[in-house]
Amino acid sequence: MAQTEYTLPRPSFDKPVKLLIVVAPFYRDIADGLIAGARAEIEAAGATHDLIEVPGALELPTAIQIADRTSNFDGFVALGCVIRGETTHYETVCNDSSRGLMELGLRGLCIGNGILTVENFDQAEARANPEKMNKGGGAAAAALHLVALSRKWGGSEKPVGFLPREDYKLAGDPDEGPVKA
C-alpha cells in the first residue's frame, strides 16, 4: 500500500516574522543539513532568522527559554541529532530534550522540533538532507505555522484560576470564608 505525506501550505504573514534557529552541532555535517533546510523554509516564507549553537540537545530547551525571556523572537527552531549508542544515555537525551521543548510549547512558545532521534548515521543523513527528508525545513515550517496560529488568535491571554465574586470580599481569617461586603 502506497503512503503519501501531506504538507500544509506555507503560511503568509502581514507583519515581519523573526525566528531563532537553535542548533546542537554535535554531528556537524548533520547539523549543517538541518540548518540549510530550515533557512530555506524561513526565507521562502519571507521571514528572517538568527542562529545560535549550544553544546548538545539537552541545552536546546534552556537556550530557547533564555532567548524568549530576553529577546524578541516570534518563534524558535530546535535542531540537533541524537544517534543511538551502547548506553541508555540515548533515551535520556531524546526524552528530556523533547519534553523540555514540549513544556515550552505548552506555555505558548512557537517551537519547531527538529531534533533527529535515529538508530544510525545513514538515517540521520537522509533526514537532515534538504534534498531528501528535509527535517530542518519541516521544523522551520512547524514554527512558522505556530506563529501564524498565535497571531490569528492573538490578543491578551486569559487569566488563570478563580476570581472572587464582585459582591463578596475575603475575610481576614481564612477559616471564616467569604463575607458579604
49 is annotated as an active-site residue? no
Q: Write down the catalytic residue from 44, 46, 50, 89.
A: 89
CB 151 within 8 A of CB 110: no
Alpha carbon separation from 104 to 10, 39, 45, 64 (Å, rounded): 23, 22, 24, 8
Q: Which set of grid coordinates corresponds to residue 24?
A: 546542537
Distance of alpha carbon 47 from alpha carbon 59, whole angstroms: 25
All cell numbers assigned to 43: 526565507
**How far is residue 146's CA from residue 111's CA, in Å, rounded to a whole number?**
7
- Annotated catalytic residues are 89
